[in-house]
Amino acid sequence: MHWLMKSEPTECSIDDLASAPAQTVPWVGVRNYQARNFMRDEMRVGDGVLFYHSSCAEPGVAGLAEVVRPAYPDATQFDPHSPYFDPKSSPAAPRWVHVDVKLVRKTRLLALSEMRSTPALASMQLLKRGNRLSITPVSAAEWRAVLALLGP
């Protein structure tokens, strides 16, 4: 499977991923049940990831990554000093999980505007009106179209 995973560059950018130990980061802080369920129930080691910069001057795909560890409890939910703390969650019954992703390669920025003007991406969930999910599935055809736009 393939996924688009949004990250604010001020929180974790493609450059942060590239400079992380083993070029791997845990995808912490997801607090939406549908996005959590994607990680928990559908993501598998080896799945491809479009690393997407969001909430910034020019949003878009900034690189490619892959899932390298299946879902496990997100420790930030238990830390009262974390912005992702959830007082209703406990280690015995965690609500929130995350996966680890590893850099495959940094790419040119494939801007949201360019994605919107690409007919092969017209049905991409990211581009649907009202979509706010931080993690969305990407079809095989959409994955190939993005890779073609990004080039070698």
What does pLDDT average to over the chain?
96
Q: Give pLDDT tens digits for 11-41.
A: 999 999 999 999 999 999 999 999 999 999 9
Furthest C-alpha separation in the chain = 47
Rounded mean pLDDT of 54-76?
97
Instruction: Assess if CATH 3.10.590.10 describes domain 2-130.
Output: yes
| Nearest in space to 101 (alpha carbons), one of 140, 129, 130, 62 | 62
pLDDT grade for 130, boundaries at 50, 70 and 90: confident
* Residue corresponding to tokens 């369920």: 37
Residue 28: both structure tokens together = 């912490």
- Distance, in Å, from the CA atom of 127 to the CA atom of 22, rounded to the nearest integer, reads 32
pTM of the model: 0.95
Percent of residues, the chain, with pLDDT higher than 70? 100
- Distance, in Å, from the CA atom of 130 to the CA atom of 126, rounded to the nearest integer, reads 9
Asked whether 63 and 107 are in contact (CB, 8 A), the reply is: yes
- Distance, in Å, from the CA atom of 129 to the CA atom of 23, rounded to the nearest integer, reads 33
Looking at residue 131, its pLDDT comes to: 87
| Nearest in space to 91 (alpha carbons), one of 74, 71, 107 | 74
pLDDT grade for 144, boundaries at 50, 70 and 90: very high
Domain locations in the chain as residue ranges = 2-130
Rounded mean pLDDT of 119-143?
95
pLDDT grade for 86, boundaries at 50, 70 and 90: very high
For 38, 41, 54, 76, the CA distances from 90, given in Å and listed in that order, are 21, 20, 30, 11
Q: Give pLDDT tens digits for 90-103.
A: 999 999 999 999 99
Burial class, 132, CB count within 10 angstroms (exposed 0-12 / middle 13-18 / buried 19+): exposed
pLDDT grade for 152, boundaries at 50, 70 and 90: confident
pLDDT grade for 111, boundaries at 50, 70 and 90: very high
- Distance, in Å, from the CA atom of 123 to the CA atom of 40, rounded to the nearest integer, reads 24
Rounded mean pLDDT of 79-92?
96
